[in-house]
């Protein structure tokens, strides 16, 4: 090997060494070791990947985690608007007293009725076993996103996302009874989960 070649090789090795050291230094700066010793196992979690949940709409504001309260809206809700909205339900439900169950059960007198209790309807195990009555809050949660409220329900309906729509729909359901349920009291409105 002549001297020139040797020098080039030596320079190359030196450069590689320097780059390696520089890399380690940069690593020290970017990823400070927690215990102050070396570059051990702590690297694994040095860059946690956090992916923010993005709402379907792409809106900058995060989507609300659940159904907004609606009890305060019920007294002034628009029953006629609720009736119009019921077009979203009539593929599967009828609302008349003495009507026939279709894909879903008859929804006459459903406010405060026990869940899964309409005669002759074959409910999913999820709904049949859920328990409780269809009070205003249960309806609010179910109609917001049926499959979130009752996991495994066979009601294939995305839900009513607008609080005013749910209030109008529930006011409509309330009217579909020989003896409509009482409106919520001020105390119930005040204590409704936010």
Of residues 93-132, which lie at the interface with ligand HEC (CB under 6 A)?
Answer: 93, 103-105, 107, 110, 115-118, 123-124, 126-127
- To the nearest whole angstrom, how small is the minimum distance from the Cβ of residue 30 to ligand HEC? 53
CA proximity to 43, closest of 29, 55, 32, 59: 32
Count of alpha carbons within 13 angstroms of residue 167, beta-carbon side: 16
Smallest distance, ligand HEC to C-beta of residue 157, A = 4
Distance between CA atoms of residues 192 and 194, nearest Å: 6
82 binds ligand HEC (CB under 6 A): no
- Answer for the pair 85, 165: CB distance below 8 angstroms, yes or no: yes
Q: Which is nearer to ligand HEC, 115 or 174 (CB)?
A: 115
* Contact assessment for residue 70 and residue 170, using Cβ atoms and an 8 Å cutoff: yes
Nearer to ligand HEC, 73 or 107 (CB): 107
31-60 burial: b if 16+ Cβ within 10 Å, else e: eeeeeeeeeeeeeeeeeeeeeeeeeeeeee
**Binding status of residue 84 toward ligand HEC by CB under 6 A:** no
The footprint of ligand HEC on residues 143-172 (CB under 6 A) is: 143, 153-157, 160, 169
CA-wise closest residue to 74 among 194, 172, 177, 158: 172
CB of 161 to ligand HEC, least distance (A): 11
Binding site for ligand HEC (CB under 6 A): 88-89, 91-93, 103-105, 107, 110, 115-118, 123-124, 126-127, 134, 143, 153-157, 160, 169
């Amino acid at each position: 090997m002549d001297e020139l070649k040797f020098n080039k090789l030596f320079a190359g090795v030196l450069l590689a060494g320097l780059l390696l050291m520089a890399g380690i230094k940069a690593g020290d700066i970017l990823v400070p070791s927690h215990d102050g010793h070396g570059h051990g196992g702590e690297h694994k979690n040095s860059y946690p990947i956090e992916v923010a949940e993005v709402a379907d709409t792409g809106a900058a504001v995060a989507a609300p985690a659940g159904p907004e309260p609606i009890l305060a809206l019920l007294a002034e809700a628009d029953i006629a608007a609720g009736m119009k909205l019921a077009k979203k339900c009539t593929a599967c439900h009828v609302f008349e007293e003495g009507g026939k169950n279709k894909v879903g059960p008859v929804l006459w007198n459903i406010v405060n009725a026990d869940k899964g209790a309409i005669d002759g309807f074959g409910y999913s195990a999820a709904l049949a076993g859920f328990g409780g009555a269809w009070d205003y809050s249960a309806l609010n949660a179910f109609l917001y996103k049926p499959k979130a409220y009752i996991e495994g329900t066979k009601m294939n309906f995305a839900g009513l996302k607008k609080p005013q729509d749910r209030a109008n729909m529930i006011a409509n359901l309330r009217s579909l009874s020989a003896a409509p349920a009482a409106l919520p009291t001020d105390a119930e409105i005040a204590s409704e989960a936010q």
